[in-house]
Amino acid sequence: MARDADRTRRRLLEAATVEFAALGIAGARVDRIAEAAGCNKAMIYAYFGNKDRLFDAVFTAQVADFLDQVHLDASDLPGYAGRLFDRYEDHPETLRLATWYRLERPRGAPLQAVVSSNRGKLEGLEQAQREGVLPGHYTPVELLTLVLSISTAWASMPPELGASAAGDRDRRRHTVVDAVRRLLVENRPVRS
């Protein structure tokens, strides 16, 4: 019985991931999720309570998988940016779900998985700055924001601009890694 329950829950999470990534929280429909998972929609309510809590479960699972796959190494932020780029290329639902989360939950209760993830990253960056591994011309929040923005640049550009962007994945990845490498160079203002 427990194996069937686990399998049903997993199928619901997989179907919900596809639905939420495509349509967001407001656009997703529990009847479509249940149908795609091959079960009764009452199971969604039994396992998750409601659609919002189902989204929370989906997003929390994405964050956990993301953290398992993409580790922040404060001594190698260009490499981290490259791994972020790879994750977004290989799993576009990750960025889509994060975008829906930001759009539809701007003032909602924060998810603990996201809070913990950000806290750990910021602490790692702050320690690396104290140890002189990273320059201190940006705060840890500024630095993480810039690295995340650079790594998602290709995935979040308007289609009109994307049509003229480099189609070669290796070139796009190289650009991301190089941009973060250059970001870490401490530029001092030139006196005139």
Looking at residue 187, its pLDDT comes to 61
Say yes or no to pLDDT of 45 above 70: yes
Q: What is the pLDDT of residue 162?
A: 61
Q: What is the pTM of this model?
A: 0.84
Find, among 188, 182, 176, the residue nearest to 87 by Cα: 176
Q: pLDDT tens digits for 106-150?
A: 887 777 878 888 899 999 999 999 999 999 999 999 999 999 999
- pLDDT tens digits for 54-74? 999 999 898 888 888 898 999
Statement: residue 88 has pLDDT above 60 = yes
pLDDT of residue 22: 96
Domains of the chain: 1-54 (1.10.10.60), 70-186 (1.10.357.10)
Range with lowest mean pLDDT among 31-35, 95-99, 155-159: 155-159
